[in-house]
């Protein structure tokens, strides 16, 4: 009936509420053991409040159970394998034998006699296999074969030395076979060490050039003058040949530098300015040769006459005819000097004694104080001192003879 209510009938609202609670989404939880165990205990205490936490804890317990079972199975298999193979167990593995001072035995000790050869034979074997021909080494050998591009020389090694045609000498070689017959002994320089076949490359040209540089260096140190033929020119000066080397004479070092091209094919007397084998620089000078020739005519104590070229704060430069000498203010007079120009001026001819000759530095020292009979006489009676210079020089020259 419509107006009657039944209190015993089930309430629809409750059923709907339960359905809505079951449809709620699962909450994401921290899957660590501590949180999971707390959640499980809380869920067990509240039986009347079922939630998604119970499902998660059940999964965690199931995973722990599977891991423990796998470990038990692995341990059982390992134990079974050791039972079948007792020699492979960890306890049965033997430790390596380490000898100590007490149990050392020298049973395997060997002596020199046990080997195939002794020390002398070993050194002899090393000498036999030692490579012959280091770079820069001079070797003497004999020609054993000729080819179109070079020749082979027996130098005492397992393989002969090879010398290219361009290294056989200086300049162009026309009669190659006639100049280098088989059996000819010659001295060569090693320019390249052994290749894979044990062959070295040698050169006669390099040896000639080395000897030429050594000879030129000795001439330069001695101060000797040489005659050269100017065989060419360029914008800077003349070129020439010196002991097979290419020399250069700058225009500034020529007596007639303005017309230097006219000196080609003429012989010049020169001296060495620079000799450098490493950079291959060979510089010569005609002016230096003239100066050195002048030095050969000069002696200590000699009286010379020259013209004052320049007046400097420290003295005078005197032209000696191809060379210049320095008359220092300390060697001018024994008196007191206020101004150098009170004594000599530029262009004036004077007489002085040579007191120093330095060929290496190109320096000539002069002195006029030795010509004075009394201190400062040159300041008062300069003409008298210069007119009597020859007689006064004879007295001073005795001093130089005593020093010698």
**Alpha-carbon torsion angle 274, 275, 280, 283, nearest 10:** 40
Pair (355, 304) in one structural domain = yes
pLDDT band for position 151 (cuts 50, 70, 90):
very high
81 vs 218, higher pLDDT: 218
Nearest Cα neighbor of 367 from 358, 354, 376, 379 is: 354
The pLDDT of residue 64 is 58
Residue 54: inside a domain, yes or no? no
Asked if pLDDT for residue 322 goes beyond 80, the answer is no
Pair (310, 395) in one structural domain = yes
Which residue has tokens 């320096």?
Answer: 363
Whether 305 contacts 351, CB under 8 Å: yes
For helices 53-84 and 33-45, give the axis angle rounded to 10 degrees.
130
pLDDT tens digits, one per residue of 207-226: 999 999 999 999 888 878 99
HSE (side-chain half, CA atoms, 13 Å) at 30: 6
Pair (313, 389) in one structural domain = yes
pTM of the model: 0.52
Taking the mean position of all CA atoms in its chain, how far away is CA 71? Answer: 69
Which residue has tokens 């002195």?
Answer: 367
| DSSP assignments along 218-231, one per residue | HHHHHT--EEEEEE
Q: What are phi and psi of 59, to 5 degrees?
A: -65, -40
Pair (277, 302) in one structural domain = no
Number of structural domains, the chain?
A: 3
H or E element that contains 176: helix 176-179
Task: Give the integer Cα–Cα distance in Å for 304 and 352.
Answer: 6
Task: Give the integer Cα–Cα distance in Å for 344 and 358.
Answer: 25
Asked if pLDDT for residue 280 goes beyond 70, the answer is yes
Pair (352, 321) in one structural domain = yes
Residue 341: inside a domain, yes or no? yes
Q: What is the CATH number of the domain that holds 336?
A: 2.40.50.140
Pair (318, 388) in one structural domain = yes
Q: Cα dist. 89→68, 73, 132 in Å?
A: 24, 19, 62
Residue 12: inside a domain, yes or no? no
The residues that bridge with 352 in the sheet, in sequence order, are: 304
The pLDDT of residue 51 is 45
Q: Of 205, 235, 263, which marks where a domain is finished?
A: 205
384 by DSSP, 3-state: which? helix
Pair (280, 302) in one structural domain = no
Asked if pLDDT for residue 13 goes beyond 50, the answer is no
**Alpha-carbon torsion angle 31, 33, 34, 39, nearest 10:** 60
pLDDT band for position 157 (cuts 50, 70, 90):
confident
pLDDT tens digits, one per residue of 226-252: 999 999 999 999 999 998 899 999 999
**Domain span holding position 283:** 223-288
Cβ of 363: how many Cβ atoms within 10 Å? 13
Task: Give the integer Cα–Cα distance in Å for 248 and 234.
Answer: 10
Task: Give the integer Cα–Cα distance in Å for 205 and 143.
Answer: 16
Pair (317, 342) in one structural domain = yes
Pair (284, 313) in one structural domain = no
Residue 248: inside a domain, yes or no? yes
Residue 261: inside a domain, yes or no? yes
**Please, which residues have CB within 8 angstroms of residue 336's CB and are 6 or more apart in sequence?**
376
- What tokens does 111 get? 């002596």
Q: What is the mean pLDDT of residues 12-19?
A: 45
Asked if pLDDT for residue 90 goes beyond 90, the answer is no
Q: Of 179, 205, 231, which marks where a domain is finished?
A: 205
Pair (305, 370) in one structural domain = yes
Asked if pLDDT for residue 262 goes beyond 80, the answer is yes
371 by DSSP, 3-state: which? helix
Taking the mean position of all CA atoms in its chain, how far away is CA 138? Answer: 24
Pair (311, 357) in one structural domain = yes
Whether 364 contacts 325, CB under 8 Å: yes
Whether 332 contacts 368, CB under 8 Å: yes
Pair (270, 309) in one structural domain = no
Task: Give the integer Cα–Cα distance in Å for 105 and 97.
Answer: 12
Q: What is the mean pLDDT of residues 257-275?
A: 92
Residue 91: inside a domain, yes or no? no
- What tokens does 285 get? 């000078």
Residue 314: inside a domain, yes or no? yes
HSE (side-chain half, CA atoms, 13 Å) at 275: 18
Residue 250: inside a domain, yes or no? yes
30 vs 122, higher pLDDT: 122
Whether 376 contacts 289, CB under 8 Å: no
What is the residue-averaged pLDDT of the chain? Answer: 76
Task: Give the integer Cα–Cα distance in Å for 330 and 44.
Answer: 125
- What tokens does 349 get? 């001819």
Rg (CA), the chain: 55
pLDDT tens digits, one per residue of 332-359: 888 888 888 888 989 999 999 998 888 7
Cβ of 161: how many Cβ atoms within 10 Å? 25
The pLDDT of residue 198 is 72
């Amino acid at each position: 009936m419509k107006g009657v209510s039944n209190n015993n009938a089930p309430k629809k609202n409750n059923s709907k509420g339960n359905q809505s609670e079951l449809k709620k989404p699962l909450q994401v939880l921290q899957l660590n053991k501590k949180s999971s165990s707390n959640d499980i205990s809380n869920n067990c205490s509240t039986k009347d409040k079922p939630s998604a936490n119970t499902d998660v804890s059940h999964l965690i317990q199931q995973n722990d159970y599977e891991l423990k079972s796998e470990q038990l199975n692995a341990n059982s298999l390992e134990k079974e394998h050791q039972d079948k193979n007792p020699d492979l167990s960890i306890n049965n593995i033997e430790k390596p034998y380490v000898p100590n001072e007490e149990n050392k035995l020298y049973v395997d000790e060997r002596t020199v006699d046990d080997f195939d050869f002794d020390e002398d034979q070993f050194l002899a074997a090393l000498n036999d296999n030692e490579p012959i021909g280091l770079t820069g080494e001079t070797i003497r050998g004999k020609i054993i074969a000729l080819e179109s591009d070079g020749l082979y020389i027996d130098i005492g090694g397992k393989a002969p030395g090879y010398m290219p045609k361009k290294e056989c000498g200086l300049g162009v070689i026309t009669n190659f076979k006639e100049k280098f017959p088989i059996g000819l002994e010659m001295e060569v320089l090693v320019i390249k060490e052994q290749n894979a076949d044990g062959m070295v490359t040698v050169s006669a040209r390099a040896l000639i050039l080395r000897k030429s540089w050594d000879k030129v260096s000795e001439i330069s140190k001695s101060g000797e003058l040489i005659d050269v033929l100017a065989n060419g020119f360029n914008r800077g000066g003349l070129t020439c040949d010196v002991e097979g080397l290419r020399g250069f004479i700058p225009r500034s070092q020529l007596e007639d530098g303005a017309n230097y091209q006219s000196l080609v094919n003429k012989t010049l007397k020169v001296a060495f300015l620079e000799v450098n084998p490493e950079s291959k620089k060979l510089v010569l000078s005609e002016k230096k040769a003239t100066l050195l020739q002048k030095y050969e005519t000069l002696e200590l104590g000699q009286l010379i006459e020259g013209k004052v070229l320049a007046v400097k704060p420290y003295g005078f430069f005197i032209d000696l005819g191809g060379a210049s000498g320095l008359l220092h203010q300390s060697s001018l007079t024994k008196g007191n000097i206020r101004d150098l120009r009170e004594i000599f001026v530029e262009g004036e001819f004077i007489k002085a004694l040579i007191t120093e000759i330095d060929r290496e530095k190109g320096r000539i020292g002069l002195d006029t104080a030795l010509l004075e009979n009394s201190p400062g006489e040159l300041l008062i009676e300069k003409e008298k001192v210069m007119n009597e210079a020859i007689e006064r020089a004879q007295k001073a020259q005795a001093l130089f003879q005593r020093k010698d």
